[in-house]
Amino acid sequence: MFLSRRTGTRVLKITGAASSQAERIQLPLRINRTVRFTGRENLAMPLMRGAPLLLVACSLLIPACGSNQPLRVEAEVTGGLITPDGDGLRDTTLLRYTLSAPAHVTVSVRDSAGRHFPLRTDEPRPAAGTYQITVDGTRTEAELSGNRRVLPDGKYDLVVDALGREGHRASAVAPLTVQGADTNPPRLEPLTVSPSAISPNFDALDDVATATFRLSKEALVSIYAEDAAGRRVDVRLLDERRKPGEYIESWSGVINDTPLPDGVYQYVVSARDAAGNVTMVRTPVQVAAGGIPRAQILRVDIAPRQILLGGEVQIRMRIKNVGDTILRTQGPTPGYRYSSYDSFGSIENGEHIDRAGLWRAGVDWAGAPISGGARYPYRWGFGHDLEPDEEAEISGVVQVWHRITRMFFFAGIIQEGVRIHDDGVGRAQIQVSF
C-alpha cells in the first residue's frame, strides 16, 4: 500500500502471476480502520469501502494462474562422441537436460531405424531445474534378461520425453556418435548346477549344489541367489575380476548357519567386461527340507564307579531330536563293546569310519576332571534315523585296560565333521584297581 502523489489517495497494489507473466492491479482505497491481512481471515470481512468483491477475486485467482507454467525441455550432450572400448578414454559422456516444471522423465537412445532403447523410464523429477545422467553407450538386450550390449558404431539420438503434472508433454533430442565400440560380450556357457534340488539340513545328503561355467573373456563376475520376488538373498561373489577359463562354485543355501526357507531360487552368474557389455545367466535351484538339526542328551548313566583292570564300564544314554530335521545316523549299533584302546575308526576293518553329517553318541575319558580336546573314540549309532521329537535309548560298553587308577568318563553327541553337541555331559569318576 502506498500514497499516490498524483491523487493523494491510498492505493493497494496486488502483484501476481497469470499466464507466466506478472500482472499488477492497483485499487484506490479509503481505509476506515487498520487491518493486517494474512490470507487466513474471513474474506467477507468489510476490509474496505469500495469493491471488496474485486479484492477477493484477485486474491484467489492470481496464485492459481501463477502455478500453471508451460512445460519445456532442453537437452545437450557433452562432446557428443564416445568410444566404448574399455580403454578408459571417452568411454562415457554426460547428457544434461533442463526442465521448466516438475515432470516424469523417460530417456532413451534412438537408432537410425527409429528403435528406442530406454535408459530411464518414467522417473519423477519433483522440481524444475537441470539434471544429468552418464551415458556409457550400452542398451538393454531384452526385457528382464539383465543383459546389456554396447551400441555398434553409428549415429544416435538421445531422446528426453517429459510428462508434466497437468498432462502436458515436451521432448528434446541431443545427437550422439559411437565409434570404435567393443561389441563382443563375455559369454558364460554352459552354466550347470547339480543337483537341481538341495536339502540344507546338514545331513551330508544333497546339502550342497555344484555350479560350473566357462568364461570367454576377462570380466567382473558376480554370483548370487534370488528369491521368487527377485531379491538377492545370498551374494556369493560381487564384481570379482576373473580371467577367461573354466570355473566351479558351490551353493548350500545357508546364510549365517541358517538355511534359506524352502522354495525355488534362481542361481545367477553375471559377467561385465570393461566396455560395459553384461551377460547374465540363471538357473533354478529348489531348496526343500531345509532346517537346523539339533539333538539333546536327556540322561547319561555311567557305571560302575569302581572296577578291576579289564573290567567293563556300562554306558546308557537317552537322546532326543530337538531340531526340525531328521537326524541320520551310522554304526556301530547300540550295545557294541569297545576295548579302551579301540576307537570307532579301528574296529571292524574301518567299517564305521566317520561319514560327514551323520550323528552318533560318543564317550571319552581323561585322567583329570576335564573334557577339553575330547575326541570321543567310543561312538554308537542311534539304531535308526531319528525324526523330530523322537527319542532313542543307546547303550554301550568300554572294557578298561589302561593302567590308570582314576578315569573321568563323559559323553557327547557328535555330528560327524560338523560339531559336537552337549560336549562333556554326564561326567563320572571311575576308580580302577590293578
Cβ proximity of 130 and 151 under 8 Å: no
**What residues does each domain of the chain span?**
2-66, 73-178, 192-287, 295-433
Alpha-carbon span 421 to 83, nearest angstrom: 61
pLDDT single digits (tens) 49-62: 333 322 222 222 22
What is the model's pTM?
Answer: 0.69
Assess whether the previous peptide bond of 261 is cis (omega < 30° from 0). Answer: no
Alpha-carbon span 103 to 163, nearest angstrom: 5
Assess whether the previous peptide bond of 369 is cis (omega < 30° from 0). Answer: no
Model pLDDT, residue 31: 37
Alpha-carbon span 273 to 219, nearest angstrom: 4
Task: Give the residue-averaged pLDDT of 177-194.
Answer: 96
| CATH tag for 192-287 (out of 2.40.30.70, 3.30.420.40, 2.60.40.4070, 3.40.710.10) | 2.60.40.4070
CATH class of 73-178: mainly beta
What are phi and psi for residue 61, nearest 5 degrees?
-85, -35
Model pLDDT, residue 10: 44
Model pLDDT, residue 433: 96
User: Does 192-287 match 73-178 at the fold level?
Assistant: yes
Residue in the structure block whose three cell numbers are 561373489? 237
pLDDT higher than threshold 60 for residue 426: yes
pLDDT higher than threshold 70 for residue 38: no
Helices and strands (H, E) in the chain, number of each type: 1, 32
Model pLDDT, residue 418: 86
Q: What angle do CA 123, 128, 131 make, to 5 degrees?
A: 60
pLDDT single digits (tens) 360-380: 999 999 986 655 566 999 999
pLDDT single digits (tens) 64-118: 333 467 899 999 999 899 999 999 999 999 999 999 999 999 999 999 999 999 9
User: Tell me, what amino acid is at 3?
Assistant: L
Superfamily of 295-433 according to CATH: Immunoglobulins (2.60.40.10)
Model pLDDT, residue 2: 43
Task: Give the residue-averaged pLDDT of 39-48.
Answer: 36
Mean pLDDT, all residues of the chain: 85
Of 389, 431, 424, the closest CA to residue 410 belongs to: 424
Alpha-carbon span 262 to 289, nearest angstrom: 7
Q: Taking the CA atoms of 19, 174, 137 and 130 in sequence, report the sign of the dihedral they define.
A: negative
For residue 346, the SS3 value is: coil
All 3 cell numbers of residue 70?
Answer: 508451460
pLDDT single digits (tens) 260-299: 999 999 999 999 999 999 999 999 999 998 888 999 999 9
Percent of the chain with pLDDT over 70: 82
Counted residue by residue, the chain has a size of 434
pLDDT higher than threshold 50 for residue 23: no
